Amino acid sequence: METVETTATRTLLTPEEYLVRERKALRKSEYRDGRIYAMPGASREHNLITVNVTGEFYIQLRTRSCEVYPSDMRVKVSAAGLYTYPDVIVVCDEPRFDDTYFDTLLNPTVLIEVLSPSTAAYDRGEKFTSYQKLDSLCEYVLISQDSVCVQRYLRQEQDWDLTEFRSLDDVFQLPSIGCELSLQAIYAKVQFSQA
């Protein structure tokens, strides 16, 4: 992920300064430790996967109190000094927001990231480490856009149990929200390039 080249990146911004800029910006940027990082554009595969997952959750959760948000909802991780835009968010408790703009969620239950070549290492590493500081977060799901591979991390008290799925026949549960996802549904219409 590239740092946005502005005067703001040479001097650290406060979270309040970031939010003022972000709410006026034409493109989304994440905020980490006083710096702004431009969000890269998404591929066709990335967008299809995001829409597929959001749609599956909408269908399963539409009569329940849970809410599903696509990638335009910002999440704040106060303990890590991070503002980020996960690809899909589910919150099943009463949503709590950072302020009266209602555009920065504080208590996600499930976060899903679709892995892009430019962000995969960050999503698996530093970002996941930051997300673990969210007391509300119960599950973290990473979905590859380049091959059939889904990794689900499930919080078990202080640990995170990893289960990996690599077949289009696989179906997995998300117990924190009472949903299931099939890899067939996640990867519907996605065509992988031949190496």
What's the rounded Cα separation, in Å, for the pair 146 and 25? 30
CATH class of the structural domain 42-186: alpha beta
Task: Say if residues 76 and 24 touch (Cβ distance below 8 Å).
Answer: no
Summarize pLDDT for 31-60 with one digit per residue, the tens.
999 999 999 889 999 999 999 999 999 999
**What residues contact residue 119 under an 8 Å CB cut-off, 6+ apart?**
1, 40, 113
- With a pLDDT cut of 70, the percent of the chain lying above it is 94
115 burial class (0-12, 13-18, 19+ CB within 10 angstroms)? Answer: buried
Q: Are 162 and 95 in contact (CB under 8 A)?
A: no
Which tokens belong to 103? 């555009």
pLDDT digits (tens, 9 = 90+) for 66-111: 999 999 999 999 988 999 999 999 999 999 999 999 999 999 999 9
pLDDT band at residue 10 using 50, 70 and 90 as cut-offs: low
For 126-155, write each residue's pLDDT tens digit: 999 999 999 999 999 999 999 999 999 999
> Which pLDDT score is estimated for 9?
42
The structure's pTM equals 0.92
For 74, phi then psi, to 5°, come to -85, 145
Extended beta strands in 27-178, E state: 29-32, 35-38, 67-69, 74-77, 82-84, 88-91, 104-105, 110-115, 139-144, 150-156, 159-165, 171-174
Position 8 confidence tier, pLDDT thresholds 50, 70, 90: very low
Question: So where are the chain's domains?
Answer: 1-39, 42-186
Cα 139 to Cα 89: distance, rounded to the nearest angstrom: 10
Using pLDDT thresholds of 50, 70 and 90, give the confidence band for residue 195.
Answer: low
